[in-house]
Structure 1
């Protein structure tokens, strides 16, 4: 799209807010769900290893599929990407797979609409690199290019424009039971330089922000001291969990990836002094932080994952169809390493939540998304979501697909 087209689409937002029509074509092509590509994806899924009684199937072909939001009232799913599209995925026959996939709201120019989430009353929120939008009743009004839209946080106001970056800016959002919106905020460096540490903590870059609701008021730095929190899930008691990706350039096996539990506002999770229980400050990745003071009360991870596996999206399992051991626990997607001598990750972990509300030991739930013979990825899991029937969905931005994992019993 040229500059003229980009300006026109930017103007479309204000037109849509006035309930006006844009000049966007009414024809929105569907993404093919069958054919050679779908057949190849299904063949790759035969290599995935799951516990006894579970099976994995292709649910939908969705290009660049990242984070998912399951609609509260219909058999619809909305899927973000790191590019310029959000996808509407429809399951019209209530079957085991989607029946239609097409671009959502093509009249709007999105920029890295990585994160999508729903309010309990059906507003879809889209989290871009530096903006939050909301769409009333998106699951009912998605067929045409023009949709009702509102602004939660205007462009350039999520973070200062001068701190905007191409790196670690795939935001993720979740909405709590009380309507408050939580947004993860990666910081753009491998390790931020000393002169940025205080500023980032003040702005919530490298942490989680909280907003009162759809009006974007009450911005609060809910947590800080993270490197790149890449997934959010809110538990049944309101506890918030996030993954956090580790520092690069320190070797194959350090530092660890993190699973953190956020219990209240104001907590600090140690970065850039700590990454897990590894001291980053003063290491070869952050020599300029050698004199940094340890943050007071820094909270250690609930789980430390093997280095460089890049855990991203996660969700509490809310269904009843899986065996009891999985109910209430966390499924965590590992995107897979990009800079490890021997590739690692490309899997789904399961982390039980104990009676005291803390995490138990992590275990591998789904493996085989990496061809161990060739070292080539077959899939790169990004996010996990619950379906109302008790199955779960896994998104994959490498093959451009969404998978459904169900349980048929022993």
Structure 2
């Protein structure tokens, strides 16, 4: 089991100085505006992967939620459950990319535990799910499918809509949703940690018709925005983007971005509140400062390396009123950090004007033994028709249910 393995990364081209990331003024002074001058930055990095423990009753019982809430297992023994969606009739669908399946779960007696589990689609690398106009949409790495939904919740034969999405690389986890305009939106992550992508579709969110035709880049410079959605009242689109690895314990922070058509969000050259990535220089004669002027900066930041996954706005009728129109985000958890972070679900609070104002812990306790072990890396979040929140863990194959009494 890997515990502490320290690595030091040195990125240098004939330089006289080394600087610490802790001093922003020095950091910016040492980043040249062109490649004519040398760049040298010394970064201290860590690999720390907490060991895996089973989701025993004892471990589940020590999970923490706010007062008045309860957490329990909704379903288990599910393999590697990832993205969650819920139909208007209360059927829960979950993808398993490793197994190449989509499962349907049902709680037929309403006791808060699934009592029916069946595979309803077999698609290699199936990951992103969305329901639109009574049909299920499924995104794999390079393909997109659509299937009719039968009265009993099962799916008809999936129809291939497109097979021209770009190759995966480091981020194969396509996610999709349909906006208030009825258009399809698909997140396509970068192939790498930080590089100048040769395919313009990588590190973007694209927009298409509901049959996947007329696909266009909607927003770019987004390293891996798995979780995104639209504020229920304003209709504005928001996403939570994965930061760059190997910049240190506290760099790059995860970003909350308002996703606006035509905007560029900086990756891989600009990050956080306008910092420069010392590893890569903008293309051509463009300076860092010029690229910064073209970049839309984040509205909120969250702890680096937390790994935000699916996001869901709360519009149910079970939680207290103050939760309405806030978003829940699954934080999968760090590996490129000396002290583990993430391994939780957080609440992203929005004000009455529909703007994000901060994060609160919501479901925690998956890190145990002083952070040396975990029993869940969380991926999916979805609001059930009964108003509870469902959360998937692809480590131990569990879906958790958070309810309010």
TM-score (norm 2): 0.80
Q: Of 272, 275, 280, which aligns to 2:271?
A: 275
Q: Of 119, 131, 143, which aligns to 1:103?
A: 119
Q: In the alignment, does 2:318 pair up with 1:321? A: yes
Given that 1:79 and 1:88 are in contact with CA atoms closer than 8 Å, whether structure 2 keeps it comes out as yes
For residues 241 and 81 of structure 1, what CA distance do their matches in structure 2 show? 25
Q: Give the number of equivalent residue pairs.
A: 346
Greater length-normalized contact order (CA 8 Å, ≥ 6 residues apart) = 2
Task: Describe the superposition over 1:217-258 as per-residue Cα deviations: whole angstroms up to 9, x where unpaired.
Answer: 221211111111121222223222211111111111111011
Q: In the alignment, does 2:280 pair up with 1:286? A: yes
Given that 1:303 and 1:362 are in contact with CA atoms closer than 8 Å, whether structure 2 keeps it comes out as no
Aligned to 2:350, what secondary structure does the other structure show? coil
Tell me which residue corresponds to 1:397. Answer: 394
Tell me which residue corresponds to 1:118. Answer: 131
Aligned to 2:58, what secondary structure does the other structure show? helix
Tell me which residue corresponds to 2:37. Answer: none
Aligned to 2:249, what secondary structure does the other structure show? coil
Q: Of 152, 170, 193, which aligns to 2:161?
A: 152
Structure 1: segments with no counterpart, 5+ residues: 1-38
Q: Of 102, 105, 111, which aligns to 1:86?
A: 102
Task: Describe the superposition over 1:153-187 as per-residue Cα deviations: whole angstroms up to 9, x where unpaired.
Answer: 2x2x122xxxx134201001111233211111101
User: CA shift at 1:93, angstroms?
Assistant: 2.1
User: CA shift at 1:287, angstroms?
Assistant: 6.0
Please report the RMSD computed on the Cα atoms of aligned residues, expressed in angstroms: 2.0
Residues 204-353 of structure 1: pairs in structure 2 closer than 5 A: 204-213=201-210, 215-236=211-232, 237-262=234-259, 264-277=260-273, 279-281=275-277, 283=278, 285-286=279-280, 291-292=287-288, 293-353=290-350
For residues 165 and 321 of structure 1, what CA distance do their matches in structure 2 show? 39
For residues 151 and 304 of structure 2, what CA distance do their matches in structure 1 show? 39
Given that 1:272 and 1:280 are in contact with CA atoms closer than 8 Å, whether structure 2 keeps it comes out as no
Q: In the alignment, does 2:76 pair up with 1:55? A: no
Aligned to 1:294, what secondary structure does the other structure show? helix
User: Would the alpha carbon gap of residues 85 and 169 (structure 1) be closer, same or farther in structure 2, given more than 3 Å must change?
Assistant: same
Aligned to 2:248, what secondary structure does the other structure show? coil
Tell me which residue corresponds to 1:16. Answer: none
For residues 112 and 58 of structure 1, what CA distance do their matches in structure 2 show? 26
| Structure with the higher strand share, 1 or 2 | 2
| Structure with the higher helix share, 1 or 2 | 1
Given that 2:269 and 2:280 are in contact with CA atoms closer than 8 Å, whether structure 1 keeps it comes out as no
Q: In the alignment, does 2:136 pair up with 1:129? A: no
